[in-house]
A and B are shown apart, each in its own frame.
Chain A
């Protein structure tokens, strides 16, 4: 059994036992759904419906002409009651199509099973994936059909499915692997076909051996698909670190995985691809973990896109009094929301509700003591402390020489820093300044 890994990284208390043993529950479909017109990286969609239209479940309600984009669909049947701007879990404000659920759960006619999915050509598979609005479900939300479209001069020989889920508290990928291993393997095969490569890897951290067993069984008749067990370490699920652990290949700094012939997808994306290719179903629901020390009943849910965070939190028994933060995603890289009136989107892997932390209350920033814990933890082999010292003096060019742009913002350095220096804020500031400097230079 191979156990790959990367250099650097940190060990975290996963708190996964809160939800990893609980079977996924179908979340109540709310009376009103809020479907953002932008749930992906790329051009936002324009609405295809107007207020007053009745829509059916799976009906395309937003589309963009841009290539790097993904359409959005109605997650249930009902009536469009508003198209309004509201907050998005990513922190921005985007237009949303608001649908009142009529309770009929009526599928749109275009959703029907494919007669012979194995006969589809790579182009046809990519077309189905585009129509289904599938994006990277690990959180990056990059449109999948774009990722699978061949780029001139570059070819992929390996597709890696990311089943690492190294963020604390989150178990939605773990539950998906336990409950739908066949869908993941089927999806991987379609992705491999659409990309035109012959090697598939499903990478799983060694704290999910039950999922390893089930996926090995699901993939046993596919000699070109292997299950790779990785060491439990954060950020094992980071794309470049994962590729290195699985294949020994290093993605060049500033480059994309395709530069080393690899395409990485989340396991959830693969399952969505299988549903789209075989049943014609667009991406209208996903697995979501609701956990954290501030929630009464942590659980995993199968949730319709457009369900509000507050609906799911209520379903989990509500938040406790000392709740201070609600995080969209995991506590290491997720974003805090200022209100729970935000909808679940395609990239929402979880909601983590955190109580007021004991130590955070007395947060004191000490001077850097050069302990080098950040240097040892950095999976990109940077010296966060040196970069931050430059950033504090606005020496942006030197931060670029110190490779600040290679920072993946995993947060490991901040986690280990005994001086509690907000290293990553300075690093983000430096990245912005470096990019602004480049844009200025390009404009000249």
Chain B
């Protein structure tokens, strides 16, 4: 009999929450891109830094303007625009003029993200549409590549492979480290792998997507290699070059634009892998990661619809 008069707070269960929220996750994604960013800056120097800053700063400012304009509360702590800007910069050529990079970044934020409803509502990966937009608008600047460290204009490994111009292909070890021509953040497989493993460890991405995507590309290019009479080096070359690792770990795993079901994520990976190989081997471009993932973004709602899990204790239900 010890009556207390204190009125307590009443809340609905659960009364505890995981310490991780959206800002933490965005911070983790930014952290996971740091190794690739460092490699890009090391290999491509000052021009790359200009592109990165241009994209990130533009994305951030545009995001603030869009939030204000749409009457949404401005949440400074939520850094998804920085992620978009950074991802876009990492898939642009280092020699791209600053104003072009900034335009692409603004396009990604305004058109692809906010016109569709803002965070969580976009159908397409903003960074990839930004890249596609730039490629369509400025095809020359977007396909001028500089070789690492000296900045001399050269061809990417995949275009050397495609054009079969007789120029020597880089060693696999060079591809692995990233000492080849390409987009700022796509060349170093080891750096991207580090970031990807970090995201897997933190539980932000599902292993199913990158694994199914990479496995599909490997298997298909192995078959293509056999048909063309090339050795084991052929599929490995495809695996380690271009934007494949950047796409597999950072684009195909984007939360907003990819399936939410486990089976759906596998299908997304396989579909992207098939399209990548198709574009690389039969298409007009030497590289097709961005377009492949964008095309799969389109079918994401469909994949989700047809891969719904069976409810516990229930039978498989079709949509």
Contacts and interface: CB of A to CB of B under 8 A. Distances in A.
B313 A250 contact: yes
Interface stretch (B21-29, B41-49, B104-112, B282-290): B21-29
Contact of B8 (A10, A338, A375, A416): A338
Interface stretch (A68-76, A201-209, A251-259): A251-259
Tell me whether chain A's interface is mostly helix, strand or loop, or mixed: loop
B128 to A, nearest CB: 16
Nearest to B16: A331
Interface of A: 10, 12, 30-32, 168, 240-241, 244, 250-255, 308, 310-311, 313-314, 323-327, 331-341, 352, 354, 357, 359-360, 364, 366-373, 375-376, 379-383, 385-386, 403, 406, 409, 411, 414-420, 422, 424-425, 428
Given A253-B311, A375-B261, A382-B311, A424 B22 contact: no
A414 B17 contact: yes
Contacts of A310: 2-4
A325 B16 CA distance: 11
12 contacts: A323-B8, A333-B14, A336-B8, A336-B11, A359-B17, A364-B75, A370-B257, A383-B260, A385-B260, A406-B314, A414-B17, A415-B16
A325 B15 contact: yes
User: Which secondary structure characterizes the binding site on chain B?
Assistant: loop
A311 B119 contact: no
A314 to B, nearest CB: 5
Contact of B1 (A308, A332, A422): A308
A326 B17 CA distance: 16
B256 A419 contact: no
A338 B120 contact: no
Given A338-B7, A370-B255, A381-B309, A424 B12 contact: yes
A85 to B, nearest CB: 16
B223 to A, nearest CB: 32
A160 B258 CA distance: 41
Interface of B: 1-22, 24-25, 75, 77-78, 80, 118-121, 203-204, 206, 255-262, 304, 308-314
Nearest to B25: A418
B15 A369 contact: no
A339 B8 CA distance: 6
A334 B312 contact: no
Contact of A372 (B260, B311, B312): B260
B120 A370 contact: yes
Contacts of B12: 422, 424-425, 428
Task: Point out which of B8, B16, B78, B119 has the most chain A C-beta atoms below 10 A from its C-beta.
Answer: B16
A142 to B, nearest CB: 19
Contact of A424 (B4, B14, B119): B14
A372 B19 CA distance: 17
Which of B6, B15, B121, B308 has most chain A Cβ within 10 Å? B15
A331 B15 contact: yes
Nearest to B300: A370
Contacts of A334: 13, 15
A375 B22 contact: no
A375 B14 contact: no
A418 B2 contact: no
A340 B8 contact: yes
Given A341-B3, A369-B255, A406-B312, A332 B16 contact: yes
Instruction: Output the residue of A12, A332, A367, A419 with the most chain B CB within 10 A.
Output: A367
Given A252-B314, A336-B8, A339-B8, A366 B21 contact: yes
Nearest to B261: A375
B21 A308 contact: no
A336 B120 contact: no
Given A244-B312, A369-B22, 11 more contacts: A253-B311, A254-B313, A255-B313, A310-B3, A310-B4, A325-B8, A334-B13, A340-B4, A354-B16, A414-B17, A415-B17
